[in-house]
Copies of this chain bind each other. A is one copy, B any other.
Amino acid sequence: MLADLRRPERTFTIRQLCNEFKATPRALRFYEDKGLLTPAREGLNRVYSHKDRVRLQLILRGKRVGLSLSEIRELLDLYDENDDGAAQMARSLKKFRERAAALEQQREDIDGALIELREACARLEKRLAEIRPDLLPRAADYDQVLRARLDGHQDAALGK
């Protein structure tokens, strides 16, 4: 009687979900503001159910693939309001495909920019080699690259 209200009945505090998913309380409240989450209350405090946790997972997944919060909300809303599961799946699929296409386009744009950049680099390297070969940057800037890899590129890379 005490032990069996385990999984489905379990509830979560905001902090627990934040820790589990590496989010901040501010973010969860923000999602709530935007209508993405609607946790229950116990007095003032938020109480997240199992379903809320699932929704949060979906939200974060959506973010990872570069969907905007409003787009995510639309998808979530579909799953709630409508009872025809297949129709929403079709819609989600469409959304995902669109996003995939957009990302592929972005990759192309990036490739174009990289081409321009490499040309510019090549020119600079050549002229520097002629004029002041000692000034050619070396391994030092690799730090920058490595440092950059540990950071917030995810945010910058996607959706804008």
- A positions within 8 Å CB-CB of B: 61, 64-66, 85-87, 89-90, 92-94, 96-107, 109-114, 116-118, 120-121, 124-125, 127-128, 131-132, 135-137, 141, 144-145, 148-149, 153-160
Contacts and interface: CB of A to CB of B under 8 A. Distances in A.
A96 B110 contact: no
| Chain copies in complex | 2
21 contacts: A61-B120, A64-B113, A65-B120, A86-B128, A86-B131, A86-B132, A90-B136, A90-B137, A93-B121, A96-B124, A100-B118, A103-B113, A103-B117, A104-B114, A105-B157, A106-B153, A106-B157, A107-B110, A113-B157, A156-B160, A160-B160
Given A96-B124, A103-B114, A153-B102, A109 B145 contact: no
Given A64-B113, A64-B116, A105-B149, A100 B127 contact: no
B109 A154 contact: yes
A114 B128 CA distance: 39
Contact of A86 (B65, B135, B137): B135
Contacts of A112: 64
A65 to B, nearest CB: 4
Contacts of A145: 98, 101, 105
B90 A132 contact: yes
Contacts of A85: 131
Nearest to A65: B113
Chain B CB within 10 Å — which of A117, A144, A156, A160 has the most? A117
A66 to B, nearest CB: 6
